[in-house]
Amino acid sequence: MEILVTGEKGFVGTHLIKQYSNRIKIANENFAERLNILDTENLKKIGKVDAVVHLASRTSIPNSIRNPSETYYSNIIGTLNILEYLRNFEIDRIINISTYVYGSPVYLPIDENHPINPHSPYNKSKVISEDLCEYYSKDYNINVVTLRPFYIYGSNGNPNFLIPSILRQITEKQVVTISRENTKRDFLFIDDFLELIGIILNNFPTGYNVFNVGYGQSHSIEEIVNMIAEINNIKIPIEIDKLLRPNDITEMIADITKVNKFFGWSPKTDLRTGLEKTILN
């Protein structure tokens, strides 16, 4: 099986290519240039593959608020170009990696039927990209799996994301600042996410399907800091940021019943183990 991975230089992309390099053929490996999904001529050089894992996007929420047009253009046009690439080369399988799109939860845990309420241009651009994937799926018989991960973590993560930011604060300041809301997130270790992608590639469902992806439990930032302190056998002072963040989502928990039912997948790595692997690697 030959797979094209967009966003191959990003956090998930680099882990995915490393994880599967001995089991599947990665189309990017034979491509001298970095893949630019905004360049349609660039895409044509790849040629036909068996499936696409679409990871590429601008992911910074603060930057999407400051520069919405840049985020909308890159994420929406990039996805449209990939779908046209699929259509033109008659490729009928794509895993579209979306994001959390539900806003402040109406109920917990959050299943796929929960109302969608994207809270930033980034999240909104991913909803529009999901719609494009669904339209192409129905109009051109492309099998699409859209995954909505709640929070993926692991080694070599984006330094601006939550867990890498905590680790950086510990290294640089020996203290961690958390919001007074002490928000809770559903954290999934990268290896478990990659396992799911592999299962899907080998058992691809027909039509258009959406799945929430997480561990199925939530943990606060304070819990994360305390676990890291225990792992390193150190004390980490916590400071409370008094700034109120009115649009912050206080808690997320993914209902993973659907993805478990479809693929028999469930996460194996608890948070403590995942943090140990993240720190040690």
Write out pLDDT tens, residues 231-256: 999 898 888 876 655 567 889 999 99
Q: Where are the domains of the chain?
A: 2-155+187-215+253-267
Q: How far is it, in rounded angstroms, from Cα 95 to Cα 118?
A: 21
Cα–Cα distances (Å) from 8 to 54, 146, 150, 230, 243, in that order, read: 9, 18, 20, 34, 36
E-strand ranges in the chain read 2-6, 25-26, 51-54, 93-97, 143-149, 152-153, 176-179, 184-185, 188-189, 208-213, 219-220, 238-241
Nearest to 125 by CA among 95, 161, 96, 91: 96
User: How do 184-185 and 219-220 pair as beta strands?
Assistant: antiparallel
Per-residue pLDDT reduced to its tens digit, 165-219:
889 888 887 788 877 667 899 999 999 999 999 999 999 999 999 999 999 999 9
Bond preceding residue 105 cis, omega within 30 of 0: no
Fold of the domain built from segment(s) 2-155+187-215+253-267: Rossmann fold (3.40.50)
This prediction has a pTM of 0.94
The DSSP call for residue 181 is T
- Please answer whether residues 53 and 5 qualify as being in contact, where contact means their C-beta atoms are separated by less than 8 angstroms: yes
List of the chain residues with pLDDT < 70? 29-33, 180-181, 242-247
